[in-house]
Structure formats: structure tokens, C-alpha cells
Structure 1
Amino acid sequence: MIKHQLNFKILQRIKSSRKFRPECCSPTKRKKSIEVMAPQVRLQGVDDKLQKLLDTNMDEAPARRRAREAFKDIQLNIDHILFKTPTDGLKIKESYEVNSRGLEIFSKSWLPETSQPKAILCYCHGYGDTCTFFFEGIARKLASYGYGVFAMDYPGFGLSEGLHCYIPSFEMLVDDVIEHFSKVKEQPEFNALPSFLFGQSMGGAVALKIHLKQPSGWNGAILVAPMCRIADDISPPWLLAQVLIGVAKFLPKQKLVPQKNLAEAAFKDLKKREMTAYNVVAYKDKPRLQTAVEMLRTTQEIESRLEEVSLPLLILHGEADIVTDPSVSKALYEKASSSDKKLILYEDAYHSLLEGEPDEMIVQVFNDIISWLNEHSSKFTAR
């Protein structure tokens, strides 16, 4: 009886959404409904012309690309510690390439300009995110320490082609990432270098899935607040989750999964939390049904296969994280068959360790990452 009531409520919400309004509605009425639904987020220092770009529907890549291009200089000049690393001595490249599935993928690289990298880091970004905003600062910092950093936006994320934040298959997404990073590693100037995966949040799940598909393909992984299980405070109740899984079979692209404000949950520093609004191509709506189902299935699979993780690991997690569950990072550390593994838990820290904490915590986390990388890249280079 309860299940039927929940199904009825969800179907009522579907019928009332603007995408499901009957085609017989007059153009005027339909236009009004769209205006009511449009997000109105006014950013400081943004004129009306840029604001129009911000309010545009970002479902498809061309709109996201236009918005990012218009906001690029504004983004990189916000007062955040990540953007204070100079670009002098760095070689930075952006590109688009059509992959084997016919999707145009955006990628970016950051390299030391005058020396060979110590190692290469292949970055897997988090849910709804991109490699063109906060990660820009992270990558600059890593490259300034002599590392080659490579990143891509998954299909449907950031500047890559595809419906915004829609994951029809997590396996397919992981295969797309493997395809891209395999091409990077095969380049003559990089193929003899140690290679490390670097995953944040959902990107941690992507990195672990890559490792499980390529057990001997990488020299190590850095996992920051990895999504091995979604925290109970964020995930919907079990019964509602089962209903949503059922509805996803018929309406996979619909934005119906209830969710708390992720910036509020992930960013501890209030000033930095406000800065998330400037990440204009990040996905900020309710999760799409199939995306949520794929993430749930993936975390369940990873949690059941922790013993198969065998590569050198650095796992970093905030103890106060209510987005991904730090207890599963502890379980990963304990159960992984890796002989070389390290877990660092940061007291009172939230989910976004490298973006949303006070400056001193961000510096500490960076130092822990650089220290581990220096130790492990020299170890493999010396062989």
C-alpha cells in the first residue's frame, strides 16, 4: 500500500513538471511555466548579458561551453587559495576529441614547461563536476611540483558532449575514461613514467573501477573522499530508493531524486561555499533517476569488492563528511589486499577537502598528497 502511494506521488510530480505539460497548452502559458522554473542566481560582478548565459538551460554541451567561456576569467579570479598558484613555468592545454562512441570529449593537461614530469596523474572528477573550475587550481599546484596532470570531463559532464549529468551506464562511463587515459599513457614522452589515478568523491569510484578493470595498469591511486558508499544523510530512504529504481526504467532522464544542498553538505568554509555558484557548468539540479541508480549500483559493487583492490593507495577522508561515508574508506583501507596503503582521516573536516575547507586544512591535505607522490614516484622511477 505504501509503495503504491509513493508511486502515485512521484507520478503526480512527473505530470506537474513542465516537461510533461500537454502539447495543447498555449505558447504563452508554456512560456510562463518555464520562466517560473528557471533558476535565478545572481552572481556578484556579473552583468545582465552574462546573467542571461547563467540562466540558460545547461542540458546540452554547447550551452555549457558558452557559459564557461564567458565566465572563465571571472572564475579564475575569485579569492580562493586554489587560484593563487602562478601558471609561470607550466604548459597548459585544452582539447576536444571524438571518442570511439562518437562523443566529443573535453580534456585538459597541465605539465612542467621545461622538465620531464616525475609521473603522470590522471584525474577523475566528482558527481556533477568538471575539470575546469576548482580542479584548475589543484592541477596547477600539482604541476608546479613537477607532475604531469591529465583530466577529462565525462560524457554529459562539464564541457563534454551529452545530456547534463546523465549516466546511462557507469560501466560505459568508466570505459570512456579508460579509453582517454590509455591514449595519454601511450604517448612516447609519458609511457615510461609512473602513472597514478587521482579520484575525488564519485571520481574515487571511477578510479577504483578503472583499477578493477586494469589490475596491473597503474602504479597507485590517490582517493579523496571516495564514493564507496553514499552517506545515509544524502541517500533517499530504502523504500523510496526502490520506488525510484522502478520508475527509472521508464523515465531514466527525469530529475526526481530528492537531495540536500550538496555545497552546504560538502563545503565547511562558508566563504568558499558561496564560491561554488561560480562553477557555472556544474550540475546543480536534482539527480536524474538513472544516474542515481547507476551510482547506487556502483557503490554496492565496489563495497563488495574491496578485497580485490591491490594497488598502492593513499585514502584521504574528512571525519565529518556527510556526503560519502568515511567508514567505508576505513573498510577499504582494512580490506584492500594492497601491501602499500595509507589512510588519513581529518578531524572535523567535511567532504570537499581540497576546495571547501579553511586554507590551513587545504594546505595540509596538499602536503600529504605531494609527500606521498614524491615517495612513490621516486620509488618507481628508481627501478
Structure 2
Amino acid sequence: MPNLRNLFRRSKTTSDMPQTNGYPTSSEFPYPYKPKTEVPAKKFIEFNDATFATLFWPSVSKPKGRVFIVHGFGEYTRLQHRLMDHLALNGYESWTFDQRGAGETSEGKERGRTNEFHVFNDLDHFIELNLKETQEKGIPLILFGHSMGGGITLNYGIHGTHREKIAAYSTTGPLVLLHPHTAPMSAVNLVAPLLATVLPNFQINSGLDVDAIAGDAQYKKFLLHDEPLGMPLIGTLRQIYDFLQRGKKLNENSDGYVTQFIEKPLIIMHGEKDTINDPAATKRFYDASTLQDKQLKLYPDMVHSLLSLENDENFAEVFGDYRGWLDSRFA
């Protein structure tokens, strides 16, 4: 649960640290995954008073499609390298970006400064750019989101501007409802709307439950020392309130909200031991959905970050399921 007493003060920036592939690197606790394809250079794109760090990863063969990745709370491009590399090796190009409020797009005092308007306005802009490129290539664009990004992805399938042009939707551990282990006390929920309105840009250190997020010891060590892009895990009151409300709409399904999801293929993958986002809420969303082509994959012994921070064996199982789902529709 966010610690409202911890006001964030950043003492380091990316330029203060040694770099590997354009990322700050700890020699003692490096990023564990070693890509088999070349790590592409990031591209920085200006839009609506922000400069976004973006990453396009080409396929090693003629692409069958492009996966557009929407990251989770406090994440950034490097945490997608493992998934993007595997997609490239299996015939899919991919694209991702550090969202407003995260990563190299928003360092220091800008960390967490976003809101519901910016989340979807930024996403619309970059989906539009990706649709232009994929349409020129004649390949489908698949939306993928993890955790907070999973909640964004599911909501986009319901009300997103370009939802009809997205070929398919996919998520891991989507934020439909926080797990009881992580959810704030009811008293916090009562004052949250007021705080988000009066102090929208107040930064808090939400804390990192590394055992709940990662299923591999090496990734846990990396996360705990991933400064300054990953740690400390900072958000603003407005950002956190908005992503919880976003999930609430999916969970409560008022006026059949979930049934308005565009008729496109959907796969949801969730670890049953996830204590960040509640897999039971994901199941409720899935059951409420009226989509013809939908799949829910639950993994009994896995935690939260299935396609970024799991051990090799678990990652291979989940990625194999995802690759099979993609190939059965786009190969």
C-alpha cells in the first residue's frame, strides 16, 4: 500500500551512473537477461509537453505482426527487453514507451505526474503512429499491457479511440482490483478522491514488495538496486487514484461496462499467487465479458510479472502460451 508519509526527493539521474545499452547499470546487480538479438537504440519523441523514451524492436524475420507494449506502474523500457527479444526471435516486432510519469520520460520531480486524460491521450497518439507504420507493412497491431498497463489495455478495448483498428488485446496480471495483501485501508479510500484533487502531484514512495512482483532471485536483486529509473517506486496521488478508479470500472461492471469491449480476440494471463493484482477479480472480468474469442490462462505457482521477472522455466511456459495464441491468429 502506498506510504503517504514518504515525500520523494530524487538524488540521482540516469546521467550519474555507468551505462549499458543506454541504461544506468549497477555492476554488482545488472539486468539479468542477456538478449539474443541486438538491443535497439531508444528514440525520443516529443508530444504534448513531454519527451517520451520509445523503443522499437524489429523481428529477425518477416514480421507476422507488431506487439504494442503498455508497461506497468513504475516500469520502463528495459524491463520489456526479455519479452521483446523473444517476440523478435519468433517473428513479431514490438514497440513500447516510457509513459508520462515514468522512466526516462519523466525523471525526478516529474515522476508520477500524469492523469486519466494524459494516459489515454498519449496512448492514442502513439497507437496512431504505430497503426500508420503497421498498415504500410500490411501487418496487424496487437495491444499488450501488464499490470497497470493491463488495466489500461482492457479499458482501451472498451472506449479507446482506435480500439476497432487494434487486431487483438492481451494482458498479464491486469489491474482490475488490488489484491487484499496490497489494497489500502478503507479509510484511505475515503479520503483518496479529495487528496487526488487537492494534491494531485504530491509524490509518494509506494514501496516495492519484491517477492510479490518477481518470481526469480536474480530479478529481485536487480529490482531492489535499479536506480534511478526503477527505484524508489514513486507515484503521485492523482496517478494512483486514477489507475485504481480505472480498475474499479472493470471490476464493478456498472451498466454492462465490460460487455462494451470491442469484438476482438483477447487473452489474459495471470499468476494465481499474484498478491499485487487479484486474480479472482480478473476471473470476474473474464466471466462478465461477452467476447466470442477470449482466453484466460491462470498459472498456479506464479506471481505478478509473468513475462518480465519470472524464472526461465516459468517465463518459457507463459511465453509459449502467448506465442501460440499469436500464431494461431496471425501466423
Shorter-chain TM-score above 0.5: yes
Alignment of 1:1-383 (within 5 A): 57=11, 63-64=13-14, 67=17, 69=19, 72=23, 74=25, 78=30, 80=32, 83-87=33-37, 92-99=40-47, 101-113=48-60, 115-131=61-77, 133-161=78-106, 163-187=109-133, 190=136, 192-212=138-158, 213=160, 214-256=162-204, 259=206, 261-280=208-227, 281-285=229-233, 287-303=235-251, 304=253, 305-309=257-261, 310-378=263-331
TM-score normalised to structure 1 length: 0.75
Flag as ranges the 4+ runs of structure 1 deviating above 6 A: none
| Identical residues among aligned pairs (%) | 21
Q: Distance in 2 between matches of 1:327 and 1:270?
A: 26
How many residues end up aligned between the 2 structures? 317
Q: Contact 1:211/1:217 (CA < 8 Å) preserved in 2? A: no
Structure with the largest fraction of helix: 1
Amino acid at match of 2:55: K
Bigger RCO (CA 8 Å, 6+ sep): 2
Deviation of 1:337 after TM superposition, in Å, equals 2.1
1:42 aligned residue? none
Classify the secondary structure of the residue corresponding to 1:361.
helix
Structure with the largest fraction of strand: 2
Deviation of 1:189 after TM superposition, in Å, equals 6.5
Q: Distance in 1 between matches of 2:220 and 2:292?
A: 37
Structure 2 spans left out of the alignment, 5+ residues? none
Are the structure 2 counterparts of residues 286 and 297 from structure 1 closer, same or farther at C-alpha, using a change threshold of 3 Å?
same
Classify the secondary structure of the residue corresponding to 2:235.
coil
Q: Distance in 1 between matches of 2:67 and 2:99?
A: 16
Deviation of 1:65 after TM superposition, in Å, equals 5.7
Name the larger-Rg structure: 1
Classify the secondary structure of the residue corresponding to 2:181.
coil
Deviation of 1:323 after TM superposition, in Å, equals 0.4
Instruction: State the superposition RMSD in angstroms.
Output: 2.7
Q: Distance in 1 between matches of 2:310 and 2:290?
A: 31
Classify the secondary structure of the residue corresponding to 2:241.
helix
Deviation of 1:198 after TM superposition, in Å, equals 0.8
Amino acid at match of 2:265: P
Structure 1 spans left out of the alignment, 5+ residues? 1-9, 20-36, 39-55, 379-383
